[in-house]
Structure 1
Amino acid sequence: MSELTMVPPIYSPYRPAVHPSHERIDRRTADWAEAFSIGTPELRGQLARHSIGTFAARILPTGREEMVSIVSDSVFWLFGVDDGYCEGGELGTRPGQLLGRLSQLLRVAQNPEAPMLLDDPLAAGLRDLSRRLDGYATPGQLARWVDALREYFLSVGWEAEHRSRGVVPGLNDYTLMRIYGGAASVVLRLLEMGHGEELPPHERDRTDVRAAAEMAYFVICWDNDLFSHHKESRSGGYYLNVIRVLEQAYGLTTEQAVARAIAQRDRVLCLFVRLCERLRAGGSPQLRQYVGGLEAFIRGSQDWGISSLRYTTPDDPAELPSAFTEFPTDSSRRPLDIPAVSWWWDLDPESSAPSSPLVRAA
């Protein structure tokens, strides 16, 4: 493997935006995390410097301010779980115990009055989030938020199993678990509550609408892997990242793996753009808002990823791009050779090839 020196500018077809209250939301979230003792004092201090409130303000730039605050607090909480329980805690290499603890947290999310984990700060923070969401979300939206937490918890349990054995998974398995292990589906459920609207079930449950959300998760998580690789590869411990997966799967150098990952996310993002155009043209106002929310989620994650101290790591600087490009490195309409997601191209009437195990594309 070669040493990664730089992540080049990546393709982004969307304009940046940020909620005007982002600085106030940053301060509120730091105070909230302190009040509930989320993570160790050291972890809490680190996360407080990562501009998580600004991240929430970027991905929900026009939402209700209180919901932007809830999104910010929730993201801080998710990092508390990921950094504290899963990657940095002793449960991170004990998948059975980790899933047991996460199942208890899931019950707290479903019913904050449940007498469980009463001395656990993460449970206390989750109780507060659940109660606050009850004032902004419909019962259906709350149920989908809990379902998304379940998806996320299942994925980090899978990661813990690999961490316990020091095994790098194959690309297909990694893709399937990464699009939910990044907690993007959890955050999306919160973004939907930000404008006081709810997507009707007859639109939400459509295959193309579900695929659009998964494509957004893919792009967000691949971008995150690109931006976080420098930090993760220097952690001294086991880590899961698409760069590492591609190096092992195809015998690539780090630079070659970066180029492959960028080509993959570019191809998916081009497909996502085409699909969203069709969804917006024939959808309800709620669906058009949902699509716009997915686009803001992608761009907001990108802007935060190249600017947050979480990834720029000034003590050991990561060479991340300072801007984006209008041109993808790969705009092919052929499906990626990843069975878990190649079916997305079946939704594209102009796709140049069917999704098939015989397709060998990037």
Structure 2
Amino acid sequence: MQAFPHSTTATPAAVVVPPSLALPVIESAFPRRLHPYWPRLQQETRRWLLEKRLMPADKVQEYADGLCYTDLMAGFYVGAPDEVLQAIADYSAWFFVWDDHHDRFVVHGRSGDWRRLRHRLHAAVDAPRHHLHHPDPLVAGFADSVLRLYGILSRTWNLRFARHFHAVIEAYDREFRNRTEGYVPGVGEYLALRRHTFAHWIWTDLLEASAGYELPDRVRKHPAYRRAALLSQEFAAWYNDLCSLPKEIAGDEVHNLGISLITHEGLTLEEAVDELRRRIEECIDEFLVARRKTLRLAHEIDDGTVRGKELGATVRTCVDNMRNWFSSAYWFHHESGRYMVDNWDDRSTPPYVTNEAAGEK
């Protein structure tokens, strides 16, 4: 089935979803949307990756478009101003590159390099302007993208984003230690850790940035809004685990819901896949309930005042984009070269990741 009537790739082709990964409810009930800025977004993020030296020029040329990082963001933050979507997309591309570097640090036992990067990122999220010219491209690129995000809303939002990203860094450190020690976390422990390594609350914060409106605590922390936000992110994280399971088993990974189920619940691989699918499908059903409750909240907030109208409209925009996240994340996993492990020479190492790109000799 084709995700878009007009494909975002240079050579349009139907996307074939393997039966084990197919979710008919997403394909039928979650129509895919794409920000009209997408073609320019792709060009500018490609240019930014080169300018910030985050990927070698030949890898950018060969793989950047096919990784579909910009497609993922353009299908999520629909309605964002072009410059805001660009800042989000560049930050997202950085995040994927950082994740790849983190993997290489683990594989090659480079604990000193990881420790230094961890401390530098903690410093950069608090003072990005002071790190724009850092010699490490990962630090400088991060500082550039974060500084642009910090210019969208208030200092209060910036501090919240920083707090959430500090937690992401520490979760990545926990992953580093788990993988180094060969420790597979239990299911509950893994799910809690995953909410940080997948950056659930970062992507949720960016919904407000894309809408150009900072939500008050009474809305952000409302059970319906928070539940809808959590479920949209859980879906993407668990579906990522389902699609990544072959790659991560091949790479001796320890962080995957399927791996935790096999290790701690005694499930076979086939049973773990079935359980992952069950949780994912349940997540979709529960989101639709939470979405309806959040839309009722938006209606209650819209009390006829100017403030109420603006706030209610922002809540509707945010929850609509949460819904967009389901289809965007789903199709991303079947279009992006990041998950086409059967085409790789080494199923544990993506072809666009090089030793040089990760600072190795």
For 1:335, the equivalent position in structure 2 comes to: none
Given that 2:69 and 2:89 are in contact with CA atoms closer than 8 Å, whether structure 1 keeps it comes out as yes
Q: Deviations over 1:6-58 (max 9, x none)?
A: 43435424221111222221121111011111156676564553011111111
Q: d(CA) in 1 for partners of 2:43 and 2:131?
A: 31
Given that 1:219 and 1:298 are in contact with CA atoms closer than 8 Å, whether structure 2 keeps it comes out as yes
Shift in alpha-carbon separation, 1:99–1:298, aligned structure 2, 3 A: farther
Q: Are residue 219 (structure 1) and residue 239 (structure 2) matched? A: no
One-letter amino acid matched to 1:155: A
One-letter amino acid matched to 2:36: P
Q: d(CA) in 1 for partners of 2:24 and 2:111?
A: 35
Q: d(CA) in 2 for partners of 1:184 and 1:227?
A: 18
Give the match's secondary structure for 1:264: helix
Structure 1 stretches of at least 4 aligned residues deviating more than 6 Å after TM superposition: 94-97
Shift in alpha-carbon separation, 1:117–1:82, aligned structure 2, 3 A: farther
For 2:275, the equivalent position in structure 1 comes to: 260
| 1:244 shift after superposition | 1.3
Q: Deviations over 1:218-272 (max 9, x none)?
A: 111001111222333333x434211111112222222211110111122222122
Given that 2:41 and 2:70 are in contact with CA atoms closer than 8 Å, whether structure 1 keeps it comes out as yes
- Aligned pairs (5 A) from 1:329-348: none
- Aligned pairs (5 A) from 1:171-320: 171-235=187-251, 237-283=252-298, 284-313=312-341, 315=343
Q: d(CA) in 2 for partners of 1:174 and 1:41?
A: 36
For 1:9, the equivalent position in structure 2 comes to: 23
TM-score normalized with structure 2 length = 0.78
Q: d(CA) in 2 for partners of 1:17 and 1:99?
A: 40
One-letter amino acid matched to 1:83: D
Shift in alpha-carbon separation, 1:147–1:47, aligned structure 2, 3 A: farther
Question: How many residues end up aligned between the 2 structures?
Answer: 312
Q: d(CA) in 1 for partners of 2:153 and 2:178?
A: 36
| 1:199 shift after superposition | 1.3
Give the match's secondary structure for 1:113: helix
- Aligned pairs (5 A) from 1:105-144: 105-114=121-130, 118-144=134-160
For structure 2, which runs of at least 5 residues remain unmatched after alignment?
Answer: 1-17, 299-311, 346-361
Given that 1:94 and 1:161 are in contact with CA atoms closer than 8 Å, whether structure 2 keeps it comes out as no
- Aligned pairs (5 A) from 1:92-111: 98=114, 101-111=117-127
Q: d(CA) in 2 for partners of 1:116 and 1:39?
A: 17
Shift in alpha-carbon separation, 1:94–1:117, aligned structure 2, 3 A: farther
Given that 1:102 and 1:153 are in contact with CA atoms closer than 8 Å, whether structure 2 keeps it comes out as yes
For 1:170, the equivalent position in structure 2 comes to: 186
Q: Are residue 79 (structure 1) and residue 58 (structure 2) matched? A: no
Higher mean alpha-carbon deviation, 256-265 vs 128-137, is at 128-137
Given that 2:200 and 2:230 are in contact with CA atoms closer than 8 Å, whether structure 1 keeps it comes out as no
Match of 2:87 among 70, 91, 94: 70
Q: CA RMSD in A?
A: 2.7
Structure with the larger helix share: 2
Shift in alpha-carbon separation, 1:99–1:172, aligned structure 2, 3 A: farther
Given that 2:241 and 2:257 are in contact with CA atoms closer than 8 Å, whether structure 1 keeps it comes out as yes
Shift in alpha-carbon separation, 1:19–1:245, aligned structure 2, 3 A: same
Match of 2:162 among 134, 146, 165: 146
One-letter amino acid matched to 1:266: E
Q: d(CA) in 2 for partners of 1:175 and 1:92?
A: 26
Q: Deviations over 1:40-94 (max 9, x none)?
A: 667656455301111111111222111221111111111121111x211259856
Given that 1:50 and 1:309 are in contact with CA atoms closer than 8 Å, whether structure 2 keeps it comes out as yes
Given that 2:254 and 2:260 are in contact with CA atoms closer than 8 Å, whether structure 1 keeps it comes out as no
TM-score normalized with structure 1 length = 0.78
Q: d(CA) in 1 for partners of 2:25 and 2:272?
A: 17
State the percentage of identical aligned residues: 21
